[in-house]
Each structure stands twice: as C-alpha cells, then as structure tokens.
Amino acid sequence: MSAIQQQDGDLFELIESEKKRQAEGIELIPSENYTSEAVMEACGSILTNKYSEGYPGKRYYGGQENVDKIETIAIERAKKLFGAEHANVQPYSGSPANYEIYFALLNFGDTVMGLKLDQGGHITHGLPIGFSGKAYNFIPYEVEKDTGKIDMEKVRALAIEHKPKMIVAGFTAYPRDIEWRKFREIADEVGAIAMADISHTAGLIAGGELENPVPYFDVVMTTTHKTLRGPRGAMIMCKEKYAKDIDRAVFPGMQGGPHEHIIAGKAIAFGEALKPEFKEYAKQVRKNAVHLAEELKKRGFELVSGGTDTHLILVDLTNKNVPGKVAQSMLDSVGITLNKNTVPFDTRSPMDPSGIRLGTPAITTRGMKEPEMERVADWIDRVISNIDDLEMHKQIKEEVREMSLKFPVPGIK
Ligand code: DSN
C-alpha cells in the first residue's frame, strides 16, 4: 500500500480517480502535458523539506550543500537549452514570473504593449482587473479580423504612437509562429525592452521546431510544464545586463523560499529536453497538430487563422451552432478534454465563448501519431454534430477509452 493509501483514504481515492481519468481520456488542453516519472519522483522527493532563500552560494539558511548543486545544474542546463546568458529557475509559475520581470525592469505606470487578451494574450499581459493592468499602462495590439494573424506594421505604428517601455510578445491562444525578429526591430526602433513569453512553445523552441528568441530578446519567460514537459513552474532568462535586477525581483522582491523539489524536477526535464529524442518529440507535436487541424477542416470546422504552425489549434464553432462551453462539457463527458476559448472579435462572453482551444503536446507524449489524430478529429466531429445524442456519446466514450489505454501515460501503471 502507498503511504497515502494507508494514511488518507479520501485523498488516495481521488488521486486514483484522477489517474483513471488521465489514462482513459484524450488530453487536448494545449498547455498540459505529462512529465516523466523521473521528474515526478524529484517533485515528490525529500527536497520539499528544504528552505533555501537566496541563490547558490549566497543563501540565508544552512544545509545547502546539495541544494546549491541542484539549482546550479538546473541553471546551467536551462542556459544551454536556450542559449541564454542568464537564467533564474526559481519562479513558482508563469504569472509570478511575468510580474517579477515587470517589477525588475519597469516603474509603476510605465507603458507596455501586449496582445489583446481575448485575442490570445495572457491575463498577466494587461488584464485591467489584474496586477499587470492596474500597475502598468498596457496598450493592446490586435490580430487581423480576416486572417487571425498579427500585422506587424500595425504593431510598429502603435509602438511609434505610444512609445512603450516594454513590448511583450508570446501568447496563450495564438496558433501561428511569432515574428520574433520583427518584434525585436520594433522594440529597438522605439527604445523598448523586448520581452518574450514563450510558455506555450518553449518545448518546440528547445526542440528546434520554432525560432528561438532568447539569443536576441532582452528577457524571456517560460513556464516549464507545457510543451517543455517539466514540472509545474517557470523560469526567466535574460541578458547579463538585466541579471541582477531580475534576480532581485524574484528574491526577495516577490518570492521567498524557492521550491527546490520543483527546481530538481526542472533540472531533470531540461536534461531530457537536451537529448536527441526531444527533437523527435517536438517535431511530432507539430506534425500531429497540423494533421489534426487538416482533419478538422475536412469536417467543416473553421480554424482561427486557417490552421496552425505550432502545437495549438483554435476553433471557431459559430458555424456549428454549438457554443464553446457546451462543446467543452460534452467532449469532457466522452473523455476528450479541451477548453472553451474566445476567438478574436468574439461576440460571446469569455465564460461562454464561441470557440474551443486544443493542442497535441500531451497526446504526442503518449506516442499518438497521425492515424490517432484522424480518430480524434472524428470523435470531436461526431460529438459536436450530434450534441444531444447521448447514446452516441456513450459509444464514443468507449472508443476513446479503448484507444487511450493503448498509449500509457508516464507514471500510470
Ligand atoms: N493557463 C495557461 C494556458 O492554459 O494557456 C496560460 O498560463
């Protein structure tokens, strides 16, 4: 019996039930993935017991001889993976990491540009009721209504008009590759700091599938648990000239003790991402996404921007007469997990939007390839085209379960 089973039956049952859900279902949330067993082992290890405020060699507590080495390995691997001058691996997650960057490099009230939130930007990129929107003057840029893509000339014009201190590029619901170099040029033209949030695509960048902004952006944030396939957390990479400010903003500016068990998990995940197999993984994530997008289009689904260059697909369900919320819930009921999402220029509300967002990082980790993408597209189509046919949904749930069980989830026996 596991220690949890012996000690806490309620929690044991819930974790077992979640294991079953993960094993028997298709995970299409594009920001989710499965870490390796080694990463999970590190995250569940005795490192959770240790306090280590400060940085390797400069801590405020004793007993750091192992933790210092672990954090240093994580930092060195992160730098190697992305070609970074400096890396801070302590951020607890993406949102605090973005706030730490703003805190380090901006003054309150400064002007910042970021993608409009209901068009693919993140809540930390200027949500009016959030910290970033209240503390800074965010000016949103947009995607084009007809193409769903960003027009970089319009970004340039907006930057010239508003003279931001920072331009944030990198998004949570944008299926296309990002023109990093153009963002850099625009930032240079107006004297802004170029910041990239590569949380979604970090694994594809590390795997060589998408262009890497780290060598020429001032500061780059990524979460570690999405396409990068590490533990839940984040890191900040920056030019050496910003290193001190970033480190000070992370600790003691916004965080206390770093989570060294998670940092050990990050180190292991970065080590995995440095291996040749990770390149194959990143390539297949994209191939699967492109194939799934094509299969959905064949079945009459309208995709924002017409397709994908990444791991992520944004579907506008308006022509199917099924709101995103209903689609999410009915697909959930057959074991296919994705999330409702606004589409650019949505006429519905964020809680009840017109679209769904899906992606291939998790199912690719399980080894699914093009033939499985066709089955996934087919199930999505059958559920959405027969939204009230519960008998059909029951049958699909069984088919989803049967296929899923052929592709084990790491760590689930
Ligand atoms: N919550 C993440 C996502 O799902 O894209 C962004 O932080």
Residue 410 CA: distances (Å) to CA of 33, 41, 350: 10, 12, 33
What lies within 8 Å, CB to CB, of 100 at 6+ separation is 91, 236, 246, 249, 250, 253, 254, 255
Where are the domains positioned within the chain? 40-273, 278-404
Per DSSP bridges, beta strands 58-59 and 111-115 are unpaired
Of the options 3.40.1160.10, 3.40.640.10, 1.10.10.60, 3.40.50.300, the CATH number for the domain spanning 40-273: 3.40.640.10
Tens of pLDDT, residue by residue, the chain (413 residues): 799 999 999 999 999 999 999 999 999 999 999 999 999 999 999 999 999 999 999 999 999 999 999 999 999 999 999 999 999 999 999 999 999 999 999 999 999 999 999 999 999 999 999 999 999 999 999 999 999 999 999 999 999 999 999 999 999 999 999 999 999 999 999 999 999 999 999 999 999 999 999 999 999 999 999 999 999 999 999 999 999 999 999 999 999 999 999 999 999 999 999 999 999 999 999 999 999 999 999 999 999 999 999 999 999 999 999 999 999 999 999 999 999 999 999 999 999 999 999 999 999 999 999 999 999 999 999 999 999 999 999 999 999 999 999 999 999 98
Cα 266–chain centre separation: 15
Cβ burial 72-97 (10 Å sphere, 16+ → b, else e):
ebbbebbbebbebebbbbbbbebbbb
Q: How far is the CA of 31 from the centre of ligand 1 (A)?
A: 6
Cα 54–chain centre separation: 27
Substitution candidate for ligand 1 out of 33, 226, 310, 314 with most atoms within 8 A of CB: 226
For helices 276-298 and 370-385, the axis angle rounded to 10 degrees is: 40
Q: Is 31 in the pocket of ligand 1 (CB under 6 A)?
A: yes
Substitution candidate for ligand 1 out of 93, 199, 227, 358 with most atoms within 8 A of CB: 199
For the CA of 200, the closest atom of ligand 1 is 5
Q: Is 122 in the pocket of ligand 1 (CB under 6 A)?
A: yes
Residue 396 CA: distances (Å) to CA of 57, 137, 294, 384: 56, 48, 21, 12
Structure tokens at 262: 């998670």
Give, using CA atoms, the residue closest to atom 3 of ligand 1.
Answer: 31
Q: Please give the positions annotated as active site.
A: 51, 53, 197, 223, 226, 232
Assess contact for 341 and 173: CB atoms under 8 A: yes
Give, using CA atoms, the residue closest to atom 1 of ligand 1.
Answer: 31
Structure tokens at 46: 């005795």
CATH level 2 (architecture), domain 278-404: Alpha-Beta Complex (3.90)
Each as own residue / partner, the long-range contacts of residues 397-402 (CB below 8 Å, 24 or more positions apart, any chain) are: 397/333, 397/334, 397/335, 399/375, 400/24, 400/25, 400/26, 400/334, 400/335, 400/336, 401/24, 401/25, 401/335
Give, using CA atoms, the residue closest to atom 4 of ligand 1.
Answer: 31
Q: Is 176 in the pocket of ligand 1 (CB under 6 A)?
A: no
Structure tokens at 170: 């990198």
Q: How far is the CA of 149 from the centre of ligand 1 (A)?
A: 20
pTM of the model: 0.97
The residue to which tokens 């989710």 are assigned: 32
Q: Is 120 in the pocket of ligand 1 (CB under 6 A)?
A: no
Substitution candidate for ligand 1 out of 31, 33, 168 with most atoms within 8 A of CB: 31
